[in-house]
């Protein structure tokens, strides 16, 4: 009987606390400028490959293919005039030779688009990048087929560190 | 209130039973898709006790496995009224039956399919209609589901990722400690002999000049050397992008260089060492390449 009284008292207390909770008020403020967050120079920090057909969707670190002693890591620079530059000494080329860049939707970006002289490349953004974030990630999600026959295979993730200007 | 206390106590008492009492399970777990596993069905844990009751009355009856997920067996289940003989289960103990198989061979599905679908099965008598009137239903358990905890590759050679296109990074991880060829055991230097195949006849062997009469030793090509894995003696690794790696390699037909065509017939590979020649034909291992137009 003591246990039951204790349980009932605790329940009543919880209801009282919940009932007394203040309403949230105030302004939400301006939305974060995702484009501004992306501007600047970024240096490659890691490169991974995730196997979507592996039983545990295992991820392998393949950074050594791009980052080695004595070699300047790949860097991307996104400018306010929509141009971008790439400096790359090592590893497979995924980001073209430079050109112009944009988001698919500046307010709610999902994809980064890189337009070169001959190709347009489109990659997923790993996360929203705010002006004060020091890291950003670009994902290359690979799949084969369409509709019900779509087979997702691997995700390559390039993680970059923001470089001081 | 006393009734409430009794209910709470009963719930607490039942929780361990719910965890422990599995009607169907596989061992070993984690489970490898290409190694022998054993499926157990414990009739005492089944919700439907009709089959168990039938075996009490007719102990001479055998129990058969009826299975449909991840697929029906390659050799079939048989008919409901007459199970195939190969589906008979082994009686381990009173009301505990087992059946052993290699999943990829038994079901004819690949590892990822086996792991994602798990197993759906039931146990039954040879004739699923036996004693139907006497016991008020068919001679079977309820449908049983078994989730599979996958075991990651720990074989002699593991290839990552499971499914890859020709322009994906592919990593071979080789465990020389598991090498069965005595000539290739305890190696400090390991090389991969790699041959790209754009069709059944056109071969591009990396490092070879494409002329059949010229001897070729993959163990003398530095780019084919596998790298030792730090802190794991006997383990070696090699990462490449097939369509990039073979660029410029002469073909065996007319020595024209490979220019990035689709590798319709995948990549043949085998392990070797400097100066080594196999007594017979070398192993014909194949790295499948997904062709995605």
Helices of type H across B94-166? 103-107, 111-117, 132-135
For residue B4, name the pLDDT band (cuts at 50, 70, 90): very low
Give the torsion sign (CA, B33, B151, A57, B40).
positive
Sheet of strand B235-240, all strands in order from the earlier edge strand to the far edge: B157-160, B170-175, B235-240, B227-228
Model confidence at B13: pLDDT above 50:
no
Round the CA-based radius of gyration of chain B to a whole number and report it: 27
Inter-chain touch B292–A144, beta carbons under 8 Å: yes
* Separation between Cα atoms, residue B283 and residue A116, nearest integer Å: 45
Six-digit token string for B172 = 């071979």
Burial class (CB in 10 A: 0-12, 13-18, 19+), B213: exposed
For residue B11, name the pLDDT band (cuts at 50, 70, 90): very low
Task: Give tens-digit pLDDT for A34-54.
Answer: 899 999 999 999 999 999 988
Model confidence at B19: pLDDT above 70:
no
Residue-averaged pLDDT of chain B:
90
Inter-chain touch B1–A49, beta carbons under 8 Å: no
* Residue A51 distance to chain B (closest CA, Å): 5
Model confidence at B112: pLDDT above 60:
yes
Q: What CATH class does A34-163 carry?
A: mainly beta
Q: Which residues of B touch A53 (CB under 8 A)?
A: 112, 161-163
Does residue B290 sit at the A interface (CB-CB below 8 Å)?
yes
CA A119 distance to own-chain centroid: 23
Task: Give tens-digit pLDDT for B184-203.
Answer: 999 999 999 999 999 999 99
Six-digit token string for A126 = 């790993």
How are beta strands B119-125 and B267-272 bridged, if at all? unpaired
If phi > 0 it is left, if psi is from -120 to 50 it is alpha, else beta; for residue A29 that is left
Fold designation for B21-146: Immunoglobulin-like (2.60.40)
Query: Residue B161 has what pLDDT?
Result: 94
Query: Residue B155 has what pLDDT?
Result: 81
Query: Residue B9 has what pLDDT?
Result: 41
Inter-chain touch B1–A60, beta carbons under 8 Å: no
For residue A19, name the pLDDT band (cuts at 50, 70, 90): low
Inter-chain touch B152–A151, beta carbons under 8 Å: no
Q: Among A40-49, B206-215, B219-228, which stretch is predicted with the lowest mean pLDDT?
A: B206-215
Query: Residue A2 has what pLDDT?
Result: 64
SS3 B108: coil
ipTM of the complex: 0.82
Q: Among A36-45, B2-11, B61-70, B109-118, which stretch is predicted with the lowest mean pLDDT?
A: B2-11
Contact between residue B12 and residue B19 where contact means Cβ atoms under 8 Å apart: no
SS3 A61: strand
* Separation between Cα atoms, residue A84 and residue B163, nearest integer Å: 33
Inter-chain touch A49–B169, beta carbons under 8 Å: yes
Of all residues in chain B, the percent with pLDDT exceeding 90 is 80
- A interface residues, B as partner, C-beta within 8 Å: 1, 4, 49, 51-56, 58, 60, 62, 65, 92, 142, 144-145, 151, 153-154, 156
Q: Which residues of A touch B109 (CB under 8 A)?
A: none
Contact between residue A123 and residue A136 where contact means Cβ atoms under 8 Å apart: no
Query: Residue A33 has what pLDDT?
Result: 83
Query: Residue A85 has what pLDDT?
Result: 97
Inter-chain touch A56–B150, beta carbons under 8 Å: yes
Q: Which residues of A touch B160 (CB under 8 A)?
A: 49, 51, 54, 58, 60
Q: Which residues of B touch A6 (CB under 8 A)?
A: none
Query: Residue B284 has what pLDDT?
Result: 87
Q: Which residues of A touch B247 (CB under 8 A)?
A: none
Question: A148 vs B216, which has greater pLDDT?
Answer: B216
Inter-chain touch A142–B165, beta carbons under 8 Å: yes
* Residue A58 distance to chain B (closest CA, Å): 9
Task: Give tens-digit pLDDT for A73-95.
Answer: 999 999 999 999 999 999 999 99
Q: Could you tell me the residue ranges of all domains in chain B?
A: 21-146, 157-287
Task: Give tens-digit pLDDT for B224-275.
Answer: 999 999 999 999 999 999 999 999 999 999 999 999 999 999 999 999 999 9
Query: Residue A55 has what pLDDT?
Result: 73
For residue B38, name the pLDDT band (cuts at 50, 70, 90): very high
Does residue B241 sit at the A interface (CB-CB below 8 Å)?
yes
Across the interface, which of A55, A142, A145 has its CB nearest the CB of B150?
A: A55
For residue A1, name the pLDDT band (cuts at 50, 70, 90): low
């Amino acid at each position: 009987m003591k246990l039951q009284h204790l349980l009932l008292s605790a329940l009543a207390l919880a209801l009282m606390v919940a009932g007394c909770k203040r309403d949230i008020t105030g302004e939400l403020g301006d939305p974060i400028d995702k484009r501004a967050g992306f501007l600047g120079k970024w240096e490659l920090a890691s490169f991974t490959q995730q196997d979507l057909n592996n039983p545990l969707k295992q991820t392998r670190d393949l950074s050594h293919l791009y980052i080695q002693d004595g070699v300047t890591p790949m860097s991307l620079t996104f400018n306010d005039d929509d141009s971008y530059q790439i400096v790359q000494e090592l590893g497979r080329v995924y980001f073209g030779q430079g050109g112009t860049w944009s988001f698919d939707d500046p307010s709610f970006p999902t994809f980064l688009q890189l337009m070169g002289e001959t190709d347009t490349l489109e990659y997923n953004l790993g996360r929203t990048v705010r002006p004060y974030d020091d890291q950003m990630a670009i994902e290359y999600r690979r799949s084969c087929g369409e509709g019900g026959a779509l087979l997702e295979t691997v995700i390559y993730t390039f993680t970059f560190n923001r470089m001081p200007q | 209130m006393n009734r409430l206390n009794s209910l709470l106590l009963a719930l607490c008492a039942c929780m361990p039973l719910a965890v422990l009492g599995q009607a169907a399970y596989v061992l070993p777990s984690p489970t490898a898709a290409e190694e022998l596993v054993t499926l157990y069905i414990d009739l005492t844990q089944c919700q439907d006790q009709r089959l168990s009751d039938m075996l009490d009355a007719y102990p001479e009856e055998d129990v058969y496995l009826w299975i449909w997920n991840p697929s029906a067996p390659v050799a079939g289940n048989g008919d409901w009224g007459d199970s195939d003989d190969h589906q008979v289960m082994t009686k381990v103990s009173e009301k505990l039956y087992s059946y052993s198989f290699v999943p990829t061979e038994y079901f004819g599905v690949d590892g990822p399919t086996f792991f994602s679908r798990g197993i759906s099965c039931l146990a039954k008598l040879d004739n699923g209609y036996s004693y139907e009137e006497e016991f008020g239903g068919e001679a079977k358990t309820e449908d049983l589901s078994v989730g599979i905890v996958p075991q990651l590759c720990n074989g002699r050679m593991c290839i990552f990722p499971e499914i890859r296109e020709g322009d994906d990074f592919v990593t071979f991880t080789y465990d020389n400690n598991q090498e069965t060829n005595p000539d290739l055991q305890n190696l400090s230097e390991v090389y991969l002999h790699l041959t790209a195949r754009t069709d059944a006849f056109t071969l591009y062997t990396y490092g070879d000049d494409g002329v059949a009469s010229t001897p070729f030793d993959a163990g003398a090509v530095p780019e084919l050397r596998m790298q030792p894995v730090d802190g794991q003696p006997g383990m070696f690794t090699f990462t490449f992008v097939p369509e990039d790696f073979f660029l410029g390699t002469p073909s065996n037909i007319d020595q024209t260089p490979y220019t990035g065509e689709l590798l319709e017939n995948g990549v043949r590979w085998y392990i070797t060492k400097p100066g080594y020649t196999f007594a017979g034909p070398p192993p014909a291992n194949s790295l499948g390449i997904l062709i995605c137009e």
